[in-house]
Amino acid sequence: MEKFEPVIIAFVCNWCTYTAADLAGTSRLSYPTNIRLIRVMCTGMVDPQYVIKAFLEGADGVLISGCHPGDCHYINGNYKARRRVKLLKEILPRFGIEKDRLRLTWIGASDGIEFAEVMTRLNDQIIEMGPSQTSLSKAI
């Protein structure tokens, strides 16, 4: 059987996690290519719709990653993101999208090594979970 290559959408904030990804790149660290980064200005602008859309379009996992609490460039966007993730983690599992397919992390701008490690861990965990049923269905 072909090896399962998941599709993982990661919404990363401009100021912390994206910068960490940049640092990982300039440090020549590698991380799984299954993860597609979408840079947003702040995790606080990740509308729950974006996450729902990603899953319905067939994503096997969605990551939201931003600054550590207290470090948000916009003061409190990451706290808002945390509440929205909590909300989505209540809604989506009712329809068979497992809780652990949606993840939230804080990765600071200087944590290039951590970024590569976390992405590898996330990828391994999603592979273990197998393909999301949404990637197999025709729901829009």
Partner 1 sequence: MIIKIEQEDNSPAKGMQQFFKRLLELKEIDAVFLPVKLKDSSSIMPSLVTDPARIKDAVLFSPAFPINSARMVSRLSYKVSGRKTAVVLRPCEMRAFIELVKLKQGTREELILIGIDCPKALTSSDYTAYMEKSPLDDDAYIQKVFSENSETLNEFSFSSACNTCENPFPVNTDISILLHGVDLSDGLMAESYSDAGSRILEILEMPETSIPEKRDEVMVQIKETHSKANEAMMADIGEKTDSITKLTVFLDRCINCYNCRNMCPVCYCKECVFNTDVFFHQPVQYHQWSEKKGLIKMPTDTVFYHLTRMAHMSHACVGCGQCSNACPSDINVFELFKTVAHHTQAAFDYLPGSDENEPSPLSVFYEKEFEDVVGIQ
Rounded least distance, CB 19 to partner 1, Å: 19
Strand positions, DSSP E, the chain: 8-13, 35-40, 61-66, 102-106
69: contact with partner 1 by CB under 8 A: yes
Rg (CA), the chain: 15
83: contact with partner 1 by CB under 8 A: yes
Distances (CA, A) of 94 to 37, 76, 90, 122: 27, 29, 7, 22
130: contact with partner 1 by CB under 8 A: no
73: contact with partner 1 by CB under 8 A: no
Type of residue found at 84: R
Contact by Cβ (8 Å): 51, 88: yes
Q: Which of 6, 3, 11 is nearest to 48 (CA)?
A: 11
Q: Is the Cβ of residue 73 or residue 82 nearer to partner 1 in the bound state? A: 82
CA 129 – CA 118 distance, rounded (Å) = 17
Rounded least distance, CB 16 to partner 1, Å: 14
56: contact with partner 1 by CB under 8 A: yes
For residue 86, what are its two tokens?
Answer: 């909590």
Q: Which of residues 87-126 bind partner 1 (CB under 8 A)?
A: 87-92, 94-97, 103-106, 118, 121-122, 125
Rounded least distance, CB 14 to partner 1, Å: 19
Give the interface with partner 1 as residue ranges (CB under 8 A).
48-49, 52-53, 56, 69-70, 76, 79-80, 82-92, 94-97, 103-106, 118, 121-122, 125, 133-134, 137-140
